[in-house]
Structure 1
Amino acid sequence: MAMPTQILIPGTAAPNQWHALETSGVLEELHSVVNGLTPAQAAERLAQHGPNRIEQVAHTSLWARVLRQFNNLLIHVLLVAALVTLWLRDYLDAAVILGVVVINAIIGFVQEGKAERALDAVRAMLASRATVLRGGERHEIDAADLVPGDVVLLESGARVPADLRLLRTKNLRIDESALTGESVPAEKDAEPVAHDAPLGDRLCMAFAGTTVAVGQASGVVVATAAHTEIGKIGTLVSDVQSLSTPLTRRLDQFARQITLVIGVVSAITFLYGHFIGGLPPLALFLAVVGLAVAAIPEGLPAIVTITLAIGTAAMARQRAVVRRLPAVETLGSVSVICTDKTGTLTRNEMTAVRVMLARRTLDVTGVGYAPEGGFHHDGSTQDPAQDADLQRLARCALLCNDAQLHHTPEQGWVLAGDPTEGALLSMALKAGLDSVEDASLTPRVDEIPFESEHRFMATLHHDHAGRVFALLKGAPERVLSLCTQDLQGVPLDASAWRARMNDAASRGQRVLALAECGLPVGTRALTMGDITPRFTLLGLVGLMDPPRAEAIQAVVDCHGAGIRVVMITGDHAVTAAAIGREMGLRDGQPLTGAEIDRLDDAALTARLAQTDVVARASPEHKLRLVATLQAEGKLVAMTGDGVNDAPALKTADIGVAMGQRGTDAAREAADLVLTDDNFATIAGAVREGRTVFDNIKKSLLFVLPTNGGEAGLILLAVFAGLAMPVTAAQILWINMVTSITLDISLAFEPAERGVMQRPPRPAAEPLITRWMLMRVVFVSLLLMGACFFVFNWQLARGGSLEMARTAVINMMVVGEVFYLFNVRSFTATAFTRDTLLGNPVAVWTSAITLVLQLLLTYAPPMQKLFGTAALDAPTWGVIGALAAAMFVAVEAEKAWLRRRGVQHI
């Protein structure tokens, strides 16, 4: 109970401080009574406050969502390219380009409703029916008709229909994990708490959307609809604006740059050709159109989409389902992962990890509810059957227990009951006890259920020898006060036991004490009068929700990749620090929700830099932490499974939800869903995300020199006053054929060596880096020079213009085939078997491309359509020699980069 100075008096409570008022003060503030409102009062308040439902936000219209998909500069450039090809009556290429635009629009349209579905999921968490007192009479009503001042009755299994200030409780525990993140049901009572108590410490409150695990209660409604804690989360979700991803930002920047360059170069070319070169305007216009078509990377959006889709498929095989394609690449850019604790880093299954007996302490192995594991002392395995003290403690844990464990082939060990009791039951089974046999040998005759007032559970048992005894389980301080000796018959040293209890608590363990006492033969009922200081202390049991072993390794992998992991939880600071320590996080002085409320932005940034553990955090805190990290320029991923995580999941650059334990609200707000609820899957997803971005960069390194070489060739012809080396239709052939075949093969590239040993990319890093630009310019010049040489060489030896243009097309494509094997690695040498043959798709697409070129060169229909002509053997020999020389030149440039220490461009 809070100190009197912390309790508010009627008339001084803010709307969110009902927890700090006495029950009489709450009823006075709400003008209500313990028997509830009258029907007339309820009707009046319903008209005043409105229904208890989260109102549905008007959804964006269908056509608005469709049109929004075309509001993108690169799409505008592609539409211009399509119009140009239509003007040239090249309907096939125009259809291909428009198809790319439509595919991208469909993908965006399908993903558009994420926030709306997240709100629907939050809305669905409100209960549909409620039991209330109206004028002293019990009624079951639609939960939407609840109003402030209504008195609601709760019982086991019920969903809380609104935010309630509890008036009376009986053995009440509420599962608040979806709201606060705590895995153990919260023990509730009607006593007020401090006005600044965090959400998880407001034990006199029951919040909408949570579920009664056990017990009964009555409470007065203090908030409905959007004013409830869960309603505030819905508001946060609707207020959050989805951020663009690093990839979309880089593509937008690239589109603006290339559009500007194309416009400026085209204008300069036209002006130079007309006023200085004296070329006819129509011919010059056709040349400028060819230049624009050459410079536009028509296939780039398709390549990006396909690369992301391939990454999506690869991640799905690793149990990570992508709900939004750019999320694949975003994972590769992430520099901070903010993760929920319960069920994400931990198993969300309480486990007994320590047994403290009178003379020694045993470590208990095994995780979760599966009765698999053993007992160890100082590193040596103990036989529980030979340990009489352990057997007596385990028997108490088994018999003074209402939980049940069932095993199914599909789900494994499943708990029916309280998680804490499930952990004790599993520990007893590990000690070799049999729940059915022991219960039959020592049947329960009577019990005193656990209640927050006395903080223990007691059971009465008879055995077949006629002995009668009581078993006790509960809060250590309460049980210790009822014990006079330990199992060795030694008078109880309470201070020594408290020291052991505090040591376990400092490790993040929840501690329970177990005791027993003999009673007179013939005792058939157990009363509070029997629970007096005469018990024998059997020992203490430390329990915790243990970290996943694979999650610990995943944190190590993330640190190796330069990714910071921050654990954000609703747990107490001591528990959070203990878990953080086991996870390998910086756990010194965990940041708390109360601190977050006090600190300004600058102070919070400095404080957050000191620790990786945040405790007692509310949804608003998580949202602010994500925003604080983003303000530092960090790319933030947020993982979570509760409705309390939904706003932060949507705010983060990428939201990662748990698929099994996750709520619908969390899954709908997320970009990525882990179907195995395993934090370790994130490390594999990050690796795949980095690989995807690498492959997109390789695609750019491949396609841009093609566009640059073609554009440079046309510019050279215009400024030199020569005939056009290629036509616009031939340029489109080169661009689309190589994009559909060669460029796509790069989407199948495996991960670069050391991909998880390099730091994340800076958020502000451009799509085209300095080293990439150097490579693009270098290869563009090589292609342009080779094509210009072949064009003039063919004309000089008496070839027709059609033959010269055909030689240029083939020089460009064959040069790209050779260059494809250069670009498979950024700086590593291509003179290895793995580089040449490690991607079978690259080999096959190269073969297909060469076959298509032969058809273009020798098939009469293709000759007529594209204006090509057959080439002789010497021409092919020159083309092959120049392509091989280009390959060697690029490898020399890569060797130069390696000597400078550049491993990744």
Structure 2
Amino acid sequence: MPEVVKGARSSQQVDSREFWHAMAQDDVLERLQSKATGLNEAEAADRKARFGPNSLPQAKQVHPFWRFLAQFRSPLIYFLLVGALAAGLLGHIVDAAVIMAVVLVNAVVGFAQEGKAEQALGAIRDLIAPQAQVMRGGQRLRVDAANIVPGDIVIVEAGDRVSADLRLLRSHSVTADEALLTGESVNASKQAVPVARDAALGDRSSMLFSGTLVATGQATGVVTATGSQTQIGRISGMLEEVQPLSTPLLRQINQFGRSFTRVVLIGAVALFAFAVLVRDYLWDEALIAVIAVSVGIVPEGLPAVITITLAIGVQRMAKRNAVIRKLPAVETLGATSVICTDKTGTLTRNEMTVRNLAVEGYQLQVSGAGYAPDGTLTATDGHDEAPALAAAAPIIRCGLLCNDADLRESENGWSVVGDPMEGALVTLALKAGAGVDRLRTEWQRLDTIPFDAEYRYMATMHRGPGGEHVIFVKGAPEVLLDMSGADPAAWQERIVNAAGRGERVLGFGMKRLDHAPPRLTHADLEQGVELLGIMGFIDPPREEAVAAIAQCRSAGIAVKMITGDHVATALAIARQLDLAEEPEAVTGAELDGLSDGELAALAQRASVFARTSPEHKLRIVRALQSLGAIVAMTGDGVNDAPSLKQADVGTAMGCKGTEAAKEASEMVLLDDNFSSIVAAVHEGRTVYDNIRKVITWTIPTNGGETLLVVLAILLGFALPMTATQILWANLLLAATLGLVLAFEPPEQGVMQRPPRDPATPLLTPFLLWRVVLVSVLFTAVALGVFFAALEAGRGLEVARTMVVNTIVVAEIFYLFNVRYLHMRSLTLRGALGTPAVLGAIAVVIVAQLLFTYAPFMQELFDSRPLTLADGALIIGLGICLMLLLEGEKLLMRRLGWFAELRS
């Protein structure tokens, strides 16, 4: 092999690479030892072993030590560290050690969850790894971009992100967005002819560069460089996308933490002054008590637990084929109120089948489904089979030759490589008994006009077996009618009938040429085209999509179908899907005449938008958002990127989606299935529920511990818990029960309630009520136990030990109450708990037994052993507390005050 592809770092390779753009195509192929049919698998494997995968170097990672130190950057943590320092200086070594333990546990939890979140987000690159079409051994294959090697023949089209540096061998109407490399905002035009040796990077029109986007057209090129040897490899740092780990809710939590810290500081100073000046506490005892109270009330672990909850949601969604690219989407999904979705492949199976075929004088029906060539063509209207099949032969041949798709048979059945409708045309030819390979060989393709949304047709020019030249065209039937000048009235009824049956209709035509032009252009089709007929394609709805739409309707989520199909076709599918009671359809042409205000009213009412363009999609999303809707939007093409970015949750298709669509989205569906969107919304609602549960459990329980000591200082009686005991309870519960709510499964009826209002504040009226109620109840129960033990002559140490155990048991039972915000907790399912809950409770029980009975713990925390009767009393009080809170939950629901939790 020439030196140009032998030495990965040789200067000769670098010099030669610089001038691929100036070489003739044959010279490029010769130097790369490649050919138009591509490398074989053995050659590709050998080159990958020598050059490595086609990927850029990993970004420099932050050292784990610095990531760990970053966990201490919080006003809440600064406050705790100052408290630990003060306790240490006062000689309260145990208190200082416990405070530091609280801080360290929080840092370890945060460090661990951040690593998991980064792994979950980083793994997305593997889940949605870019792919490319290559020629290997004469066959077109789709491979991961990482497996591309120098010398590979790569096929690209509009919307693709180029996977490696390519020297073009064939190009048609290609433009590329190279702003990433050149900074030019205007797309660069590309062609296969060489350019000057000293051409600047932006002028190398014979090259496509890795990382750039193909905006229009189709091209075939040979790979000249991969990985770090590409042009973009030199500036790979620009490609690193920082995955944000902050969400609006987390920012709200952090702001709450800063405000809370200020309030705690002011309250701590006031309480210290009162204890020393009014209650005659020794200043060091007062200070350590105030520090303990402050540590107890500070919810230092809340941001970490909330981020854990979000990261768990990301992992759960990935298992359901919905990959979250940006963490805030997890939170937003829970508030989604409208889903705008494409039809083909998302709501339907994307397994197109030609169902009906109409030519001059004949109508044929096609049996079979999917891409398997099993089925027959049958003449309808009483016609004989033979003349009908003979009349259909030209349109079948046109459909096969004006076509870029191939069929593949595997253990999983037949599949299509390329466009589903084109795959259906290949299947039709096989059903008709046509020799597919023979026809494609005999009718040599000379040039192509790829399908373009602006023109809505595809055309190919061929040299036939007898030397004749013919252009074959397929596209929207109205376009073919205009091209051919055929009488629209003769065909309109057939088109309408097919669309009314839910079929997608394509027109087909041909034009005979006296001689072949150098290039095929749109002008060549302005006259002389013969209409061959039309075909009706059926793409049946996915069964799971029908169920998912029913789920959306029960959840108060509107589903809008936005499609390029005819109105009749779209409405037929909408009715099969039960998209609405009476689906209303609007066309793109009708949208063009509406103002933004008029469109907003119509967008809310209509369920189907037919014959739409990407510009219409963008307007529809904006119109719905202007009404306050939270919009999830699906898209797959490069032109969908604006609407995907505009949507609250842009959702790209993982199978058929372009890289441009994926990069503009917050979520990628690995299976292109509508039901996966609904599953993601379900998970998003569960995540938000769990976040509410974490907040609802954490703040009131901290408030109960704090109020207990504050009342003792204000009213002048002995502290029911020592500073060290408060810190012990805070450390134990924060490290166990404080985490388990992040793992809660969804409650029943998650998708039977309306979408939540995303503007709901963190401290809602219900949460404020719960803070007050639970804090007062905890305080009342603990003080009752404390004074009863003292009155019985049990001693201060025993009374305090009972209070600590009462607080811990009360928080365990409160956890069971909080696990179900929208339903009763007193059920068998509620009592059984989850493995995470039961495991955490087991840890708490073991720790409390050690606290109460282990001599070394008694020495550290001044605790005393309790009797069996004491334990029974404490557990009974916990049960009573839970029953009381369950009664409060029922009362709230009956009074209608519970509605905010259901939003």
Alignment TM-score, normalising by the size of structure 2: 0.67
Rate the CA distance shift 1:548–1:115 in 2: closer, same or farther, 3 A: closer
Corresponding residue for residue 772 of structure 2: 777
- What is the letter of the counterpart of residue 499 of structure 1? E
Deviation at 1:896, TM superposition (A): 1.9
Deviation at 1:696, TM superposition (A): 2.2
How far apart, CA to CA, are the structure 2 residues paired with 1:128 and 1:639?
30
Deviation at 1:855, TM superposition (A): 1.0
- What is the letter of the counterpart of residue 588 of structure 1? A
Confirm or deny that 1:212 pairs with 2:218.
yes
Note if contact 2:708-2:783 (Cα within 8 Å) is conserved in structure 1: yes
Note if contact 2:686-2:747 (Cα within 8 Å) is conserved in structure 1: yes
How far apart, CA to CA, are the structure 2 residues paired with 1:754 and 1:787?
36
State how 1:499-578 maps to structure 2 within 5 Å: 499-501=493-495, 503-504=497-498, 509-513=504-508, 540-543=534-537, 548-567=542-561
Confirm or deny that 1:496 pairs with 2:490.
yes
> Aligned with 1:495: secondary structure?
helix
How far apart, CA to CA, are the structure 2 residues paired with 1:162 and 1:553?
52
How far apart, CA to CA, are the structure 2 residues paired with 1:891 and 1:701?
14
Note if contact 2:336-2:631 (Cα within 8 Å) is conserved in structure 1: yes
Note if contact 2:292-2:726 (Cα within 8 Å) is conserved in structure 1: yes
Note if contact 1:659-1:677 (Cα within 8 Å) is conserved in structure 2: yes
Confirm or deny that 1:589 pairs with 2:582.
no
Deviation at 1:854, TM superposition (A): 0.4
Note if contact 1:354-1:362 (Cα within 8 Å) is conserved in structure 2: yes
- What is the letter of the counterpart of residue 857 of structure 2? M
Aligned counterpart in structure 2 of residue 248 of structure 1, from 247, 250, 261: 250
Deviations 1:47-77 (A, max 9, x none): xxxxxxxxxxxx9998899999999999422
How far apart, CA to CA, are the structure 2 residues paired with 1:426 and 1:110?
43
Corresponding residue for residue 653 of structure 2: 658
Note if contact 2:471-2:511 (Cα within 8 Å) is conserved in structure 1: yes
> Aligned with 1:637: secondary structure?
strand
Deviations 1:93-114 (A, max 9, x none): 2311232444466577779999
How far apart, CA to CA, are the structure 2 residues paired with 1:568 and 1:238?
33
How far apart, CA to CA, are the structure 2 residues paired with 1:871 and 1:111?
46
Rate the CA distance shift 1:259–1:352 in 2: closer, same or farther, 3 A: farther
Note if contact 1:863-1:869 (Cα within 8 Å) is conserved in structure 2: yes
Note if contact 1:70-1:76 (Cα within 8 Å) is conserved in structure 2: no
Rate the CA distance shift 1:304–1:363 in 2: closer, same or farther, 3 A: farther
Corresponding residue for residue 79 of structure 2: 80
- What is the letter of the counterpart of residue 311 of structure 2? A
Deviations 1:724-778 (A, max 9, x none): 2223332232233223333433333332221101111101112343334333432
Note if contact 1:384-1:391 (Cα within 8 Å) is conserved in structure 2: no
Aligned counterpart in structure 2 of residue 715 of structure 1, from 705, 710, 716: 710
Rate the CA distance shift 1:547–1:816 in 2: closer, same or farther, 3 A: same
Output the aligned Cα RMSD: 5.7
Confirm or deny that 1:673 pairs with 2:659.
no
- What is the letter of the counterpart of residue 80 of structure 2? A
Instruction: Tell which deviates more after alignment, 298-307 or 577-586.
Output: 577-586
State how 1:869-884 maps to structure 2 within 5 Å: 869-884=864-879
Deviation at 1:830, TM superposition (A): 3.2
Corresponding residue for residue 413 of structure 1: 414
Rate the CA distance shift 1:609–1:70 in 2: closer, same or farther, 3 A: farther
Confirm or deny that 1:687 pairs with 2:682.
yes
Deviation at 1:613, TM superposition (A): 5.3
Report the number of matched residues. 747
Instruction: Tell which deviates more after alignment, 410-419 or 776-785.
Output: 410-419
How far apart, CA to CA, are the structure 2 residues paired with 1:115 and 1:315?
12
How far apart, CA to CA, are the structure 2 residues paired with 1:589 and 1:850?
63
Corresponding residue for residue 203 of structure 1: none
> Aligned with 1:511: secondary structure?
strand
- What is the letter of the counterpart of residue 679 of structure 1? F
Corresponding residue for residue 302 of structure 2: 300
> Aligned with 2:736: secondary structure?
helix
> Aligned with 2:785: secondary structure?
helix
Give unpaired runs (5+ residues) of structure 2. Answer: 1-57, 88-95, 131-144, 146-158, 171-177, 194-199, 206-210, 222-230, 233-237, 450-456, 517-524
Deviations 1:401-445 (A, max 9, x none): 23564334377534467765432222344xx44444x887x9986
Note if contact 2:588-2:612 (Cα within 8 Å) is conserved in structure 1: no
How far apart, CA to CA, are the structure 1 residues paired with 2:633 and 2:70?
28
Note if contact 1:626-1:636 (Cα within 8 Å) is conserved in structure 2: yes
Note if contact 1:633-1:763 (Cα within 8 Å) is conserved in structure 2: no
Note if contact 2:113-2:308 (Cα within 8 Å) is conserved in structure 1: no
Give unpaired runs (5+ residues) of structure 1. Answer: 1-58, 134-140, 156-160, 167-177, 180-206, 216-224, 227-234, 463-467, 485-491, 518-524
How far apart, CA to CA, are the structure 2 residues paired with 1:146 and 1:835?
59
Note if contact 2:250-2:306 (Cα within 8 Å) is conserved in structure 1: no
Deviations 1:349-371 (A, max 9, x none): 65424333678866667665444
Deviation at 1:623, TM superposition (A): 6.2
State how 1:628-639 maps to structure 2 within 5 Å: 629-630=624-625, 632-639=627-634
Corresponding residue for residue 107 of structure 2: 98
Corresponding residue for residue 765 of structure 1: 760
Deviation at 1:853, TM superposition (A): 0.8
Confirm or deny that 1:89 pairs with 2:97.
yes
Instruction: Tell which deviates more after alignment, 71-80 or 401-410.
Output: 71-80
Deviation at 1:274, TM superposition (A): 4.5
- What is the letter of the counterpart of residue 560 of structure 1? S
Rate the CA distance shift 1:84–1:685 in 2: closer, same or farther, 3 A: same
Alignment TM-score, normalising by the size of structure 1: 0.67
Corresponding residue for residue 287 of structure 1: 289
Corresponding residue for residue 329 of structure 1: 331
Corresponding residue for residue 158 of structure 1: none
- What is the letter of the counterpart of residue 562 of structure 1? G
Note if contact 1:826-1:903 (Cα within 8 Å) is conserved in structure 2: no
How far apart, CA to CA, are the structure 2 residues paired with 1:104 and 1:627?
36
- What is the letter of the counterpart of residue 555 of structure 1? I
- What is the letter of the counterpart of residue 81 of structure 1? L
> Aligned with 2:407: secondary structure?
strand
Rate the CA distance shift 1:301–1:740 in 2: closer, same or farther, 3 A: same
Deviations 1:495-537 (A, max 9, x none): 33343235546867332247999xxxxxxx9989xx9x99999
How far apart, CA to CA, are the structure 1 residues paired with 2:390 and 2:539?
25
> Aligned with 1:638: secondary structure?
strand
> Aligned with 1:589: secondary structure?
strand
- What is the letter of the counterpart of residue 849 of structure 1? V
Deviation at 1:811, TM superposition (A): 0.5
- What is the letter of the counterpart of residue 93 of structure 1? V
- What is the letter of the counterpart of residue 880 of structure 2? A
- What is the letter of the counterpart of residue 677 of structure 1? D
How far apart, CA to CA, are the structure 2 residues paired with 1:723 and 1:435?
97
Aligned counterpart in structure 1 of residue 636 of structure 2, from 630, 637, 641: 641
How far apart, CA to CA, are the structure 2 residues paired with 1:761 and 1:106?
30
Deviation at 1:570, TM superposition (A): 7.2
> Aligned with 1:875: secondary structure?
helix
How far apart, CA to CA, are the structure 2 residues paired with 1:900 and 1:70?
48
Note if contact 1:243-1:653 (Cα within 8 Å) is conserved in structure 2: no
How far apart, CA to CA, are the structure 2 residues paired with 1:729 and 1:890?
29
State how 1:471-490 maps to structure 2 within 5 Å: none
- What is the letter of the counterpart of residue 83 of structure 2? V
Corresponding residue for residue 153 of structure 1: 191
How far apart, CA to CA, are the structure 2 residues paired with 1:297 and 1:126?
48
- What is the letter of the counterpart of residue 294 of structure 1? G
- What is the letter of the counterpart of residue 559 of structure 1? R
> Aligned with 2:414: secondary structure?
strand
How far apart, CA to CA, are the structure 2 residues paired with 1:788 and 1:106?
42
Note if contact 2:121-2:324 (Cα within 8 Å) is conserved in structure 1: no
